[in-house]
Amino acid sequence: MSKKAVLLVNLGSPNSTSVADVRRYLREFLGDERVLDLAAPLRWLLLEGIILRTRPKKSAHAYSTVWTKDGSPLIVTSRSVQQKVSAQLGAELPVYLAMRYGQPSIASVIAKILADGVSELLLIPQYPHYAMSSWETVTAKVYAEVALQSPTLRVTTVQPFYEDADYIEALYTSAQPYLEQPHDHLLFSYHGIPVRHLRKADSSKAHCTVVADCCNVCSPVQSTCYRAQCYKTTKAFARRANLSAEKHSVSFQSRLAGEPWLTPYTDYELVRLPGAGIKRLLVMSPAFVADCLETLEELSVAGKETFMQAGGISFQQIPCLNEHPAYISFLIKRIQTWAGN
């Protein structure tokens, strides 16, 4: 009889807030060809010659502002999710956790899975939306490790769930207490990607950024279009929460300099909105299932400061799904559906 198991994979985090650990983490993260998708010599030159000379110290300071007594908030939360899901599933269906970068590594966890005698694996990338730098790199790394260590391991992958009804319901349930507070506007701040990545993911090479209003024109290529999927999440959530069009908007954060990224930029919107009469702002980040540096520092600290200095009165960051019971239930339902087949 085959033994089944589940593998949750998220981004990862440095081992500590030391500059050396942050530099090591950034080298692995930004050295991924699906993140900095340049020719290998150019990627090495950019990474080693520029980024790793300046960014580790700044990032280490940022990490230090959100680090907990138990370590990285992303890792701590991810372990909690693993434990809560595992507790409901029982020992017969073990749940493993790996990180795309850092520890626990995908390679080491796959080795553990094989040592435990697992023959069927459900991979759940902790990314609701497709992007080559997130969902794709996780799945590619897992399949590469499986091919290397044991090609007979059968792997099923949960596809991006950006408009899954249960996911939207989980988002709404977790956000509802904040939506009931007085506010003028809800800003959906998604992680940005280079515009070039949209075109690269478009297999037709004739839709993304080519067709007018491409994200609102139905096309099969939207199955790999990050921006279109972000807007679909937003529309689905707005319908569930009965949000009018003027009461919510979308922006994109965390860009790198040097080329166009998805717009509008979150930091620009945080300056613009108070001048448009929006003084009490709610912000949520559906691209992340767990709070991390981008939500806890970039938005909740730096973003709030930007908004308040621009004339805002109140700024409330809605927590990510984290280990909310509604998200645990979403994962359990997906797993049990697979396990029952």
Q: Which residues contact 210 (CB under 8 A, 6 or more apart)?
A: none
Beta bridge partners of residue 105, listed in sequence order: 99
pLDDT tens-place string over residues 77-117: 999 999 999 999 999 999 999 999 999 999 999 999 999 99
**What does the pLDDT read at residue 222?**
82
**What does the pLDDT read at residue 283?**
99
Beta bridge partners of residue 185, listed in sequence order: 281
Q: Look at residues 227, 229, 215, 263 and name the one whose alpha carbon lies nearest to residue 207.
A: 215
Q: Which residues contact 250 (CB under 8 A, 6 or more apart)?
A: 187, 188, 190, 230, 231, 234, 264
pLDDT above 90 (res 218): no
- What is the band of 208 on the pLDDT scale with cuts at 50, 70, 90? confident
DSSP string for 13-64: --SSSSHHHHHHHHHHHHT-TTTS-S-HHHHHHHIIIIIHHHHHHHHHHHHH
Q: Is the separation of the CB atoms in 278 and 184 below 8 Å? A: yes
DSSP string for 304-338: HHHHHHTT-SEEEEPP--TT-HHHHHHHHHHHHHH
pLDDT above 70 (res 341): no
Q: Is the separation of the CB atoms in 293 and 66 below 8 Å? A: yes
Read off the pTM: 0.95
Q: How far apart are CA 14 and CA 60, in angstroms?
A: 9
Beta bridge partners of residue 324, listed in sequence order: none
Cα atoms in the Cβ-side hemisphere of radius 13 Å centred on 1:
3
Q: Which domains does the chain have, with CATH numbers?
A: 4-161+324-339 (3.40.50.1400), 165-317 (3.40.50.1400)
Q: How far apart are CA 177 and CA 169, in angstroms?
A: 14
**What does the pLDDT read at residue 109?**
99
pLDDT tens-place string over residues 141-179: 999 999 999 999 999 999 999 999 999 999 999 999 999
* Mean pLDDT value across residues 225-245: 97
pLDDT above 70 (res 45): yes
**What does the pLDDT read at residue 206?**
72
Is the model more confident about 246 or about 223? Answer: 246
Mean pLDDT of the chain: 96
**What does the pLDDT read at residue 128?**
99
Q: How far apart are CA 264 and CA 132, in angstroms?
A: 21
